[in-house]
């Protein structure tokens, strides 16, 4: 058997697909990601199978869609009765290590197949977070919100309370470089999971990175003429509870984007350090590098913020792969791929026998080399009476929003920025019916018995329509950490 490659999996949180300079963004600075894109392969139609943190990560860990993992929203538990890609690699002889955000539920400290972890979570718990322990050892005491101030500040751009050298993004980079350097003398193949909280809000880059982009130079969000008709209940509800539905401040929108881009560039700086470490230790040519994100961010597009939506801004993610002989040449693959493809890609590259492991994904190399006959990828989100189901082909994107009882159809060729809904056009009937059938057939394929909450017979199951309260004070969210108590004697009592 030829030497098995090392695997470096770099994952960000909430990073849009259109935030890589080499793939067409003329403003953002991402020299490290550009190196990957220009030497490896960029999958330009990569989609999250569930555009929200925990379900998306569960899908990539287990190579299955939510209807098969049973994990639909952030509070839902991940399965324990099947191997993750980390477990499969561990069992096959890989040294496996995780650094940074894993977002495991219900046990945040679980290994789930890793041999070891160094933890850093979005909402850290003092008793289990390695990063916050480091801050305490550095004399910072307990810093309740090291990733940025949440609550009412959630979408207010801010500067980190920490210097760059102690910033959580830098910590993941530091620990990842250290791991790579320690592996240079071993013959055992390794898999490193290097996972970053940013650019997830709050957008809090460290000084001086917050000055990298000046807000007055950045474009406004994409808001098409028909934007209101393109929203779902999920969009409207998120805008309410995230405190973003009480008017538009264009200067603030530009400043939000500036800080969001700065967070990405600071992650990119860490990616560059990892690539340099691979080069310096002679491991680059035998390391499969895969970069992606769990989902995107609306960032003001359609006058909306957050995720959980079928819009490309939050459903499509960056996906870059590099390995000589497998993913190389600066190629661009425009066929739809998904985060569920990551597990079979890793196992195939590692030579792991996977016939006994059920996945919904396809090896990215097979898609790249036209060895897959898959026609579409899918996504679903379901929580508290809301649900949205999405199917993406090379030419079309279809979505059904259950709380709106409404279908959406976007032409990916004629209207890639989603300015209008083709579902209502008379010459789109055949395409609409074909994509609807494809989506329903996919939902019926899950075992056991299909995703029966979604359909009834050959059509969508009808649920009551949902509306956001007209009272702007109803439905707001604080997003404080669990157990938070304001303790200011004489003021808070």
Domain boundaries, the chain: 6-369
Sequential DSSP letters for 231-250: --HHHHHHHHHTT--S---H
Phi-psi region of 464 (alpha: psi -120 to 50; beta: other; left: phi over 0): beta
Measure the N-to-C terminal CA separation of the chain; round to a whole number of Å. 68
Q: Which residues of 110-128 are buried (b: 16+ CB within 10 A; e: fewer)?
A: ebbbbbebbbbbbbbeeee
Q: Is 401 helix (H, G, I), strand (E, B) or coil?
A: strand
Output the six-digit token pair for 174.
């530091």
pLDDT digits (tens, 9 = 90+) for 238-287: 999 888 888 899 999 999 999 999 999 999 999 999 999 999 999 999 99
With 70 as the cut, is the pLDDT of residue 1 above it?
no
Of the pLDDT bands very low, low, confident and very high (cuts 50, 70, 90), residue 493 is: confident
Residue 409: which of 382, 433, 440, 378 has the closest Cα? 433
Output the six-digit token pair for 231.
């929203």
Q: What is the CATH number of domain 6-369?
A: 3.40.720.10
pLDDT of residue 7: 98
How, if at all, do strands 190-195 and 95-100 pair? parallel
Sequential DSSP letters for 439-468: HHHHHHTSTTT--TTTEETTEEPP------
Distance CA 105, CA 79 (A): 9
For tokens 């009592």, what's the residue? 493
- What is the dihedral sign for C-alpha 215, 218, 224, 227? negative
The mean pLDDT value for 343-353 works out to 95
Q: What is the mean pLDDT of the chain?
A: 94
pLDDT of residue 132: 92
pLDDT of residue 419: 97
Distance CA 225, CA 228 (A): 8
CB atoms within 10 A of CB 228: 12
- Stretch among 40-49, 121-130, 378-387, 404-413 having the lowest mean pLDDT: 121-130
The mean pLDDT value for 53-74 works out to 94
The fraction of the chain above a pLDDT of 90, given in percent, is 81
**Total-model pTM:** 0.95
With 60 as the cut, is the pLDDT of residue 76 above it?
yes
The mean pLDDT value for 215-234 works out to 95
For tokens 């603030």, what's the residue? 252
pLDDT of residue 122: 86
The mean pLDDT value for 403-414 works out to 97
Distance CA 1, CA 237 (A): 53
The mean pLDDT value for 177-202 works out to 96
Residue 157: which of 232, 251, 83, 24 has the closest Cα? 251
For residue 196, how far is the Cα from the chain centroid?
11
With 90 as the cut, is the pLDDT of residue 376 above it?
yes
Distance CA 244, CA 309 (A): 16
pLDDT of residue 131: 93
With 80 as the cut, is the pLDDT of residue 482 above it?
no
CB atoms within 10 A of CB 82: 17
pLDDT of residue 432: 97
Output the six-digit token pair for 420.
């209008």
């Amino acid at each position: 058997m030829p030497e098995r490659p090392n695997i470096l999996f770099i994952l960000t949180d909430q990073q849009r697909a259109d935030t890589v300079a080499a793939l067409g963004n003329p403003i953002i600075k991402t020299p490290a990601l550009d190196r990957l894109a220009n030497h490896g392969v960029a999958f330009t139609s990569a989609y999250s199978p569930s555009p929200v943190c925990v379900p998306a990560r569960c899908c990539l860990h287990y190579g299955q869609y939510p209807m098969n993992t049973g994990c639909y929203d952030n509070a839902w538990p991940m399965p324990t009765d099947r191997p993750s890609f980390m477990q499969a690699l561990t069992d096959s002889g890989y040294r496996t290590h995780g650094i940074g955000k894993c977002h495991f539920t219900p046990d945040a400290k679980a290994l789930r197949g890793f041999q070891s972890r160094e933890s850093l979570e979005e909402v850290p718990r003092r008793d289990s977070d390695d990063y916050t322990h480091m801050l305490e050892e550095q004399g910072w005491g307990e810093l309740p919100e090291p990733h940025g101030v949440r609550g009412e500040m959630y979408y207010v751009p801010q500067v980190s309370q920490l210097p760059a050298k102690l910033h959580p993004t830098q910590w993941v980079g530091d620990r990842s470089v250290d791991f790579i350097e320690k592996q240079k003398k071993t013959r055992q193949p390794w898999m490193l999971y290097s996972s970053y909280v940013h650019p997830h809000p709050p957008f809090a880059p460290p000084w001086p990175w917050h000055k990298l982009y000046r807000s007055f130079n950045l474009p406004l969000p994409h808001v098409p003429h028909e934007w209101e008709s393109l929203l779902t209940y999920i969009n409207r509800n998120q805008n309410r509870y995230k405190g973003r539905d009480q008017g538009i401040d264009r200067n603030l929108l530009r400043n939000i984007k500036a800080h969001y881009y700065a967070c990405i560039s600071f992650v990119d700086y860490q990616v560059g350090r990892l690539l340099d470490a691979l080069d310096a230790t002679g491991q680059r040519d035998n390391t499969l590098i895969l970069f992606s994100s769990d989902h995107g961010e609306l960032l003001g597009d359609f006058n909306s913020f957050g995720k959980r939506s079928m819009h490309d801004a939050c459903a499509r993610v960056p996906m870059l792969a590099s390995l000589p002989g497998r993913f190389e040449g600066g190629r661009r693959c425009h066929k739809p791929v998904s985060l569920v493809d990551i597990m079979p890609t890793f196992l195939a590259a590692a030579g792991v026998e996977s016939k006994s492991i059920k996945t919904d994904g396809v090896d990215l190399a097979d898609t790249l080399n036209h060895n897959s006959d898959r026609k579409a990828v899918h996504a679903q989100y379901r929580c508290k009476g809301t649900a949205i189901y999405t199917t993406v082909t090379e030419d079309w994107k279809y979505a059904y929003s259950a709380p709106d009882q409404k279908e959406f159809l976007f032409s990916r060729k004629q209207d890639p920025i989603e300015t209008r809904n083709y579902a209502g056009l008379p010459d789109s009937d055949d395409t609409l019916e074909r994509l609807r059938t494809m989506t329903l057939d996919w939902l019926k394929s899950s075992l056991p018995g299909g995703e029966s909450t979604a359909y009834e017979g050959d059509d969508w199951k009808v649920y009551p329509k949902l509306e956001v309260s007209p009272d702007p004070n109803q439905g707001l969210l604080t997003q404080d950490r669990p157990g938070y108590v304001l303790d200011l004697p004489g003021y808070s009592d």
